[in-house]
Amino acid sequence: MDVPVFTELGSLYALMDEHGDRLRRDLVLTVDVQGDTFPVWCLEIGSNDLRAPAIGFFGGVHGMERIGTQVLIAWLQTLLERARWDVHYQQLLESVRVVFMPMVNPGGLVLGTRANPAGVDLMRSAPVQAEKRALPLLGGHRVSPHLPWYRGRVEDPLPPEASALFEVVRARLHPHPFSIAMDCHSGFGFRDRLWFPYARTQEPAPNIAEAFALREIFNRTYPNHSFYLMEPQSASYTTHGDLWDFLYDEYRERYRGLFLPFTLEMGSWLWVKKNPRQFFSWFGLFNPILPHRLERVLRRHLILFDFLLHAAASWQNWRPDAARRETCRQEAMKRWFAG
């Protein structure tokens, strides 16, 4: 396919060339933008046994949050290099399926927009209605594609990028007994937040005990990585149309296993605070600009991603049993829902 190559796509193709024998690849969608065609790739390494656990990494849902795509390409490179020489990683990958969809919305990446080329905010586009009133505009609206956070018209089908993401999750994560999804964003607040469902309601999701248990092993394993603020998304704000709310509820209707979707919301206000000139650049509101800061962000989350990969592979060793689950649930209620 003859496509204009922008930086992230070039990096992805370099990895695909270099590690052709280790990567399974599927072109799941093409997106036309102003006469050019851009690919949406799904790449996989590791086991493809449906009895194994699985983990999926997603990025670029919001086009201008390019750092999400960049941290995933950096992580994929690390993982592929480890798989080349590290016997422990080779064994690990025999027991877990690893899915990458690092550029869900290439049209938004090219255009420098949050939305897809049709003006739809993918993260507001799922058929999910917030239970109480979501924030005006930001929570998702059907007013106009010229305003941010547009959900599309009620009669519209799911946008093609969201539909491709749904198909990837339904075919490659949901059928497994355990799976994690990690969707990388940037832009909200001074902290790096790890959000889990729900976005649509302030009611606790049925798996807060498991989310709490995962948080606990992360904090115990990495006591000096306290910079993540893990919480249900509704603790920050509620929205309509959240893709992961929809996929989480759908999974629970169809399967009896465990599917834990997380969104990493990298706190970009910190980068702006440290380099205030970024405030005057649209790109700079969502991405680190100075080279040393970009490098810092690209390495900052490697430990988390590696932790999640191992946590997926060893999920049966930390998933709380019935007694422990009740304790975790009570702790989770105290921490996240006491108000």
Footprint on this chain of Zn ion (rule: CB under 5 A): 62, 65, 185
Check whether the bond before 228 is cis (ω within 30° of 0): no
Q: Nearer Cβ to Zn ion, position 47 or 239?
A: 239
Q: Nearer Cβ to Zn ion, position 172 or 185?
A: 185
Q: How far is CA 165 from the centre of its chain?
A: 11
Q: Nearer Cβ to Zn ion, position 53 or 68?
A: 68
Q: How far is the CB of 57 from Zn ion (least distance, A)?
A: 15
What is the rounded distance in angstroms from the CA atom of residue 74 to the CA atom of residue 132?
39
Q: How far is the CB of 211 from Zn ion (least distance, A)?
A: 20
What is the rounded distance in angstroms from the CA atom of residue 203 to the CA atom of residue 186?
25
Q: How far is the CB of 62 from Zn ion (least distance, A)?
A: 4
Q: How far is the CB of 65 from Zn ion (least distance, A)?
A: 5
Considering only CA atoms, which of 283, 197, 207, 211 is closest in space to residue 246?
Answer: 197
Q: How far is the CB of 185 from Zn ion (least distance, A)?
A: 3
Q: How many CA atoms lie less than 13 Å away from 193 in the CB half-sphere?
A: 21
Number of H helices, E strands in the chain: 12, 8
Please answer whether residues 209 and 337 qualify as being in contact, where contact means their C-beta atoms are separated by less than 8 angstroms.
no
Q: How far is the CB of 234 from Zn ion (least distance, A)?
A: 16
Q: Nearer Cβ to Zn ion, position 97 or 193?
A: 193
Q: How far is the CB of 187 from Zn ion (least distance, A)?
A: 6
Look at residue 266 and give its three-state secondary structure: strand
Q: Nearer Cβ to Zn ion, position 45 or 194?
A: 194
- Within 10 angstroms of residue 135's Cβ, the number of other Cβ atoms is 14
Taking CB atoms, the residue at the shortest distance from Zn ion is 185
Query: Strand 178-186 to strand 54-59: parallel, antiparallel, or no bridges (unpaired)?
Result: parallel
What is the rounded distance in angstroms from the CA atom of residue 82 to the CA atom of residue 57?
17
What is the rounded distance in angstroms from the CA atom of residue 269 to the CA atom of residue 287?
9
Q: Nearer Cβ to Zn ion, position 19 or 62?
A: 62
DSSP code, position 56: E
Q: Nearer Cβ to Zn ion, position 96 or 243?
A: 243
Q: How far is CA 24 from the centre of its chain?
A: 20
Q: How far is the CB of 140 from Zn ion (least distance, A)?
A: 13
Please answer whether residues 75 and 13 qualify as being in contact, where contact means their C-beta atoms are separated by less than 8 angstroms.
no
Q: Nearer Cβ to Zn ion, position 62 or 329?
A: 62
